[in-house]
Amino acid sequence: MEVIYSRCAALDVHKKSVVAHAITPRHRETRTFGTVTKDLLELKKWLLDLKVTHVAMESAGVYWKPIYNLLEDSFTLVLANARYIKAVPGHKTDVKDAEWIADLLRHGLLRGSYVPDRPHRELREVTRYRRILIRERSRVICRIQKILEGANIKLSSVASDVVGVSGRMILQAMINGIEDPKELAAMAKGKLRQKMQSLEEALLGLMGTHQRRLIESELEHLDFLDQKIVKLDDDIAERMRPYESIIARIDTIPGIGRRGAEEILAEIGPDVVSRFPDAHHLASWAKICPGNNESAGKRKSGKTGHGNPWLHSVLVEVAWAATRVKRGYYSSLYHRLAGRRGKKRAIVAVAHSILVTIYSMLKNNTVYHDLGECFHDLLNPEQVVRRAIKRIERLGYKVSVQTPALVT
């Protein structure tokens, strides 16, 4: 095979050691280094002395990150998916793995994963950590509901948010020892006051001392998480300041709020248009489209595959929100597919459509324009009319259709 890179190296990365195999026009050499910064700097010096230009490694957990941070300014790095570079079974050692990866790189047979630059990587870490805290906040609320259920209190059956303004006042009163349902229900605010009778019945329970302590602890944890999330919001807003116009355009899509737009942009990157030739390549990279699996003329499972879990999560989340917008395109698309393909496939299709829309908006520098709930029906209105007539006639009715007169 043709040699593409005459001076290259491969790293078999582990938690405590890195096995490096370098190839030059005259010889091959293998060395083992530690993973602390001092050892990694020695690895960098060794590669520079050999005049290596390209370095490849597996994306093994998070262990590749320290190495990438130190080598990215001196070499062309290829971070390869471990699924695509498996060696021949029965010949697996750390040294042989490094040699195999080096040979693949030397002949140009490795496809590198997308690794954003350092500022973008930092932005990703912050947005992902915020999402982790938001998930933890949801778990805290679930634990509070569990404690209330154990105390025979059905607050969550009446109030949509047990930690809202009314819920927090009621919970704090319970912590302070108030048990009278009428007194607790009188603290309700807003629309919850319209359910006073149901609220009084739901607040009659058997709250024990240990349950009061648990609720107090969970509320303190909730306040702590809220403070951290607010600080992260400010940090992310500052980092997103150069991309404010992009955030504003993404925010015009139904179902996407400020946080959703920030998370999507952090995952796909502001340079998404230059990295992907079209929206279909972006959807394929995100694994938010059907997979290709065909053999002998038969199409097998078309599962979406495993892509970026953070991007997939936020896209599905905003897709559910978009389907709740009445008389909108995404709501129509979801209900059009859910009946015959199932809810899960339908929501992935909506998420795919949202991602394609984002790419088109960024490429054409436009804002969102809803196609309307009748978009698919207008593609073939005669077929829609025929199906509607058949359904009505099956009920025993006779139908006559009159074509509307054209306005001149």
- pLDDT tens profile 123-159: 999 999 999 999 999 999 999 999 999 999 999 999 9
CB 68 within 8 Å of CB 47: no
Q: Residue 408's pLDDT is what?
A: 52
List the structure tokens of 152. 């025979």
What pLDDT, in 10s, does the model give residues 7-30? 999 999 999 999 999 999 888 999
CB 26 within 8 Å of CB 11: no
388 in any annotated domain = no
Query: For 344-347, which contacts have Cβ atoms below 8 Å and span 24 or more sequence positions?
Result: 347/316, 347/319, 347/320, 347/323
Task: Tell me, yes or no, whether 213 and 274 share the same domain.
Answer: no
397 in any annotated domain = no
Task: Tell me, yes or no, whether 125 and 79 share the same domain.
Answer: no
Task: Tell me, yes or no, whether 123 and 226 share the same domain.
Answer: yes
What pLDDT, in 10s, does the model give residues 290-347? 877 777 777 777 777 788 899 999 999 999 999 999 889 999 999 999 988 899 999 9
pTM for this predicted structure? 0.86
Q: Residue 10's pLDDT is what?
A: 93
**Residue at a domain's end among 364, 383, 402:** 364
Q: Residue 7's pLDDT is what?
A: 93
**Residue at a domain's end among 239, 254, 274:** 239
Asked whether residue 218 carries a pLDDT value surpassing 70, the answer given is: yes
Task: Tell me, yes or no, whether 87 and 191 share the same domain.
Answer: no
Beta-strand relationship, 298-299 and 54-58: unpaired
49 in any annotated domain = yes
Task: Tell me, yes or no, whether 127 and 46 share the same domain.
Answer: no
Q: What percent of the chain has pLDDT over 70?
A: 98
Q: Residue 302's pLDDT is what?
A: 72
In our burial notation (b when 16+ CB lie closer than 10 A, e otherwise), range 360-373 reads: ebbeeeeebeebeb
Instruction: Give how far Cα 393 sits from Cα of 383, 384, 386, 388, Å.
Output: 15, 14, 11, 9
Task: Tell me, yes or no, whether 229 and 138 share the same domain.
Answer: yes
Q: Residue 407's pLDDT is what?
A: 52
**Residue at a domain's end among 106, 132, 152:** 106
For residue 54, what pLDDT band results from cuts at 50, 70 and 90? very high
Q: How many domains does the chain have?
A: 3
Asked whether residue 216 carries a pLDDT value surpassing 80, the answer given is: yes
Task: Tell me, yes or no, whether 157 and 221 share the same domain.
Answer: yes
21 in any annotated domain = yes
Query: Which range scores top for mean pLDDT: 91-100, 104-113, 236-245, 367-376?
Result: 236-245
389 in any annotated domain = no
3-state secondary structure the chain: CCCCCCCEEEEEECCCEEEEEEECCCCEEEEEEECCHHHHHHHHHHHHHCCCCEEEEECCCCCHHHHHHHHCCCCEEEEECHHHCCCCCCCCCHHHHHHHHHHHHHCCCCCECCCCCHHHHHHHHHHHHHHHHHHHHHHHHHHHHHHHHHCCCCHHHHCCCCCCHHHHHHHHHHHCCCCCHHHHHCCCCHHHHHHHHHHHHHCCCCCCHHHHHHHHHHHHHHHHHHHHHHHHHHHHHHHCHHHHHHHHHHCCCCCCCHHHHHHHHHHHCCCHHHHCCCHHHHHHHHCCCCCCCEECCEECCCCCCCCCHHHHHHHHHHHHHHHCCCCCHHHHHHHHHHHHHCHHHHHHHHHHHHHHHHHHHHHHCCCCCCCCCCHHHHHCHHHHHHHHHHHHHHCCCCCCCCCCCCCC
Amino acid at the residue 331 = S
Q: Residue 292's pLDDT is what?
A: 75
- What is the span of the domain harbouring residue 325? 245-293+302-364
CB 235 within 8 Å of CB 310: no
Q: What is the CATH number of the domain that holds 63?
A: 3.30.420.60
